């Protein structure tokens, strides 16, 4: 095959490949970016697709812009005491559901909004509130949207309405738990109490008085080896070591039974 023929084949292949790519883009086909966005956003992708009347190109563009805008949003840690307060409030509204299901769902919607704002998301009144949540918690957003939608609905209450509210509350709980999760903020621990320096030293006056009143205890504190220490007491009498006796013989001193020495 001549060089010209080979070049013709290569050019033809490149033209066909370019045409396929152009056709795919024109039809809004799901390339690698679309697959990733579908996997990441889940039901939120389908919702955005319906909003754009099935236009996948517009859907991918919108969701990609959300990731760029809120993907690096700084999520603030939640202090342990704040997490406990939110949990206690959720437990209270579950008990409230028995008597006032509509009010309980409305309170759950407001509670999730406050929790999201505490974690660093735009406030519930902001149009960016759900968009930011969709980037970080897309699979839990549907239940939260459902509860929010029911808070604005009015009508006759009945078994079906109550069950719908119950399901909305259960679904909203998923977003609540997602926002509540994550490592809590470290709480400051109280510094260990130090023992004052004065408390670790004995009072000289007390020590002197105790030693004077209880000679046996003072002697035991100094040492109990009577044989090894000259001048140690045994039974209240002064006792000398062999070296002490030799010294007494040389100096001519004697020891009385009361422990006092007199020179001859």
State the pLDDT at residue 7: 64
Same domain, 44 and 123: no
Instruction: Establish if 230 belongs to a structural domain.
Output: no
The reported pLDDT for the residue numbered 225 is: 43
Of 70, 92, 112, which one is at a domain's C-terminal end?
70
Domain count, the chain: 2
In terms of domains, do 90 and 159 share one? yes
Query: What residue numbers bound the domain in which 46 lies?
Result: 12-70
How confident is the model at residue 169, as a pLDDT?
94
My answer on whether 144 and 105 are in the same domain is yes
Same domain? For 65 and 94 the reply is no
Are 58 and 108 in a shared domain? no
109 located within any domain: yes
pLDDT of residue 134: 96
List of long-range contacts for 172-175, beta carbons under 8 Å, 24+ apart = 172/105, 172/108, 172/109, 172/112, 172/143, 172/144, 172/146, 172/147, 173/90, 173/108, 173/143, 174/139, 174/140, 174/143, 174/144, 175/112, 175/133, 175/137, 175/140, 175/141, 175/143, 175/144
pLDDT of residue 192: 41
Output the pLDDT for position 136: 95
Q: Are residues 64 and 116 in the same domain?
A: no
Residues 85 and 171 in one domain: yes
Tell me which of 162, 180, 198 is where a domain ends. Answer: 180
- Output DSSP code: residue 144: H
In a domain, 199, yes or no: no
Task: Decide if 218 is inside a domain.
Answer: no
**Same domain as 139, residue 51:** no
Which has the closest alpha carbon to 67: 98, 94, 45? 45
From 128, 147, 180, the end of a domain falls on: 180
CB-facing half-sphere around the CA of 16: CA atoms within 13 A? 6
- 250: in domain: no
User: Domain check: are 64 and 148 in the same one?
Assistant: no
Pairing relationship of beta strands 261-263 and 237-238 according to DSSP bridges: unpaired
Residues 162 and 87 placed together within one structural domain of the fold: yes
Classify residue 201: in a domain, yes or no: no
Do both 62 and 86 map to the same domain?
Answer: no
- 253-255 vs 237-238, strand pairing mode: unpaired
Residue 194 lies in a domain: no
CB 187 within 8 A of CB 80: yes
The verdict on 47 and 102 lying in the same domain is: no
Provide the pLDDT for residue 24: 45
Q: Does the residue 263 lie in any domain?
A: no
Average pLDDT along the chain, 264 residues, taken 10 residues at a time: 65 59 42 77 93 94 95 93 96 93 94 96 95 95 92 57 92 95 48 40 46 42 41 46 53 46 45
């Amino acid at each position: 095959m001549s060089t010209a023929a080979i070049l013709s084949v290569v050019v033809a292949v490149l033209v066909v490949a370019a045409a396929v790519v152009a056709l795919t883009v024109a039809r809004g086909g799901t390339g690698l970016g679309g697959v990733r966005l579908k996997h990441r956003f889940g039901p939120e992708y389908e919702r955005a697709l319906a909003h754009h009347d099935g236009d996948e190109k517009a859907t991918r563009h919108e969701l990609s812009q959300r990731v760029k805008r809120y993907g690096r949003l700084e999520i603030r840690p939640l202090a342990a005491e704040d997490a406990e307060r939110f949990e206690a409030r959720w437990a209270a509204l579950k008990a409230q559901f028995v008597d006032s299901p509509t009010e309980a769902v409305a309170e759950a919607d407001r509670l999730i909004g406050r929790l999201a704002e505490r974690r660093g998301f735009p406030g519930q009144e902001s149009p960016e509130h759900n968009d930011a949540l969709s980037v970080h918690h897309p699979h839990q957003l549907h239940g939260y949207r459902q509860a929010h939608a029911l808070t604005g609905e009015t009508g006759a209450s009945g078994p079906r309405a109550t069950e719908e509210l119950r399901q909305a509350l259960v679904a909203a709980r998923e977003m609540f738990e997602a926002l509540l999760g994550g490592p809590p903020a470290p709480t400051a621990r109280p510094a260990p109490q130090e023992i004052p320096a004065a408390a670790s030293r004995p009072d000289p006056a007390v020590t002197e008085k105790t030693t004077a009143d209880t000679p046996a205890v003072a002697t035991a504190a100094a040492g109990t080896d009577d044989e090894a220490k000259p001048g140690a007491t045994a039974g209240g009498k002064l006792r000398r070591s062999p070296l002490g006796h030799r010294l007494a013989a040389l100096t001519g001193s004697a020891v009385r039974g009361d422990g006092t020495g007199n020179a001859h």
